[in-house]
Every structure is written in structure tokens, then in C-alpha cells.
Amino acid sequence: MQTRKLGNTGPTVSALGLGAMGMSGMYGPSDRAESLATIDVALEAGITLIDTGDFYGMGHNEMLIGEALKGHKRDQAILSVKFGAQRDPSGGWIGFDGRPAAVKTSLAYTLQRLGVDHIDIYRPARLDPVVPIEDTVGAIADMVKAGYVRHIGLSEVGAETIRKAAAVHPIVDLQIEYSLISRSLEDKILPVLRELGVGMTAYGVLSRGLISGHWDKSKGQEKGDYRAHTPRFQGDNVDRNLALVEALRTIAAAKGVSVAQIAIAWVAAQGDDIVPLVGARTRSRLTESLGALDVTLSADDLAAIERAVPRDAAAGTRYAEAQMAHLDSER
């Protein structure tokens, strides 16, 4: 397995990480046995970075990963956990809590559900609009000193917030959506990350399956699949976006690889400080994603991809309006 280091102060991790959100209902029903088998295969293949959130299935995802880890040594996995998103019993999103006491309480529950004594990278899922990021990061820093957390990360925050957080404690990485059709971070955020020596873990590299080469309009309608409410998957937007996928398919076919593989490889090619996270829910999709590590993109390939999928070509925002309003990274 190829490896990459997360920032100047972070751990060395596999060059591809596994995002486990889709195993807990966010994309509709999932198969528990297949999810466990997929995590197992990922660890056996050398994937060390596993990403979750305490609000994925309201603890379900953490307990699933905890069960999968029982068959492996704890040090085989670098566990990245997001916290703070608030949800009601119906699954609705009702805010974010980044208060110091909430940070420590959330961590206590996470350690219990995962069945571990420390979290490798702990990060607020969003910026709390009423709690200074310095206070939230300071509380995690307390947990670093106490031995419950190894490193601190951030998620979906902008350049100014990154600077404020890094002034309190070393930040190893920013987790943020980055793909061929989600590139706004390149203007202000990525330069600051590189200036400060902060790595990036890129989620949504396949745009929730939209640019995987496997998704079509007959899919994504299962109960609980939040993509049905996401602008890029709605109305005329989805037709325009799927046309981009077909343009990308032509390039992938010429190289003898899949659309998903070339999309993942493009993200990985944007810098050694970037680790793509793939949200594979099955062993077959994981195997396909792992194949992206063998894809080498030449300057001509990258230019062809840029022509096929220009930076601002995507139709629709990456989240619904209400969720976009919570993204410090988009301000």
C-alpha cells in the first residue's frame, strides 16, 4: 500500500482512505454483513485511514467499525472521527455543538462505541457559529494531553478559521469535499493548508456516486437516501452532470480504467498532501477504488480531463441551501 503523511505533524496513512458514512443509512439501506466484510478487506489490503462521524446513524457507524476492528489489531487503523452535528429522532439536522463540554462528552461516547482507548484524529464536523473555534480546538487539545486523542483535524472550514485553529494547536488535516466537480477550495483554502503544513483528506471524490460511472437516474430513490434532496441530483442539473460523466468515460476508456478510478486518481494527482477518501459500501466497489492507486495520469491526461470536466461545469450546489449555509468553507 502506498502511503502519504497528513501534514507536517500528522501520522503516515494509506494513500487511500475508507469513508464509512454510507454503511449507516445515509444512501439508503445497507447490508451489515457486506459492510463488515468491506471494512475487513480494506484493512487487509493495507488501508489504514478509516473515517466516521458520531452522527452517522447516531452511533451505528462507530459501533459497526468497532465490531469490524475486533478481528484486527488496533494499530492497523488510523481512526478519524467527526463530532458535533446535532440530529433529532427523525434524522433531521438541527444544528452543531462545539462547546468544550460537548466536545468531551461526545468523545466519551465515541470511545465507548468504538471500543478503543483513543481516537487518532478528532475533528469538529462543522464550525459552531456561536462558539469560537479556539475554544473547540482547545477542548480537543485537553483530550490530546490526557491521551484520549492523538491528533486534531478540521472539517469544512475556511482559511481564516484554519489559521485561528492552528494558532491553538497543530492541525494535521482538513477534511473537505474535493472532486472534479467540487473545486472551490483551490482558491483560498488549499494555499493556506500548504502554507501552514496542514494536509487534506478529500471526501466526496466521486460526488456521492454521481461521477462514479455507475449512478443513473433510476437509482438514489431509496428511503433514507439524502441524495434525493441534493441539488446536483435533481431536475435538469442531473442531466447536465451526467453528461460530464460521459465525457470523462471516454477518457477513462482510452486508458483502460473505470470512470471512478480516473476520478479518484485525479484527486490523488493534485498533491502528495491529499488523501482521497472513498465511500465504498461493498467489496467490489472497494476493489475498483483500490485500482485507482495504479492509475498514472500524464500531463496530457490531466489536460484532457480538464477539458472534459471544466472546473465550474457542475450544475447545482453540493448540498441543499440550508446545509450550504453551515459551511464555513463556502463563505
Active site residues: 56
Distance (Å, whole) CA 105 – CA 83: 10
Give the integer Cα–Cα distance in Å for 182 and 197.
22
Judge contact between 178 and 202, C-beta under 8 A: yes
CA distance 75 to 87: 31
Q: How far is CA 167 from CA 138, 152, 160, 199, 330, in A?
A: 10, 12, 11, 16, 22
Burial of 223 (0-12, 13-18, 19+ CB in 10 A): exposed
- Sorted by sequence, the CB contacts under 8 Å of residue 35 that are 6+ apart come out as 20, 23, 64, 68, 281
Q: Alpha-carbon distance 179 to 311, whole Å?
A: 10
Phi, psi at residue 173, to the nearest 5°?
-160, 160
- Burial status of residue 184 (CB atoms within 10 A of its CB: 0-12, 13-18, 19 or more): middle
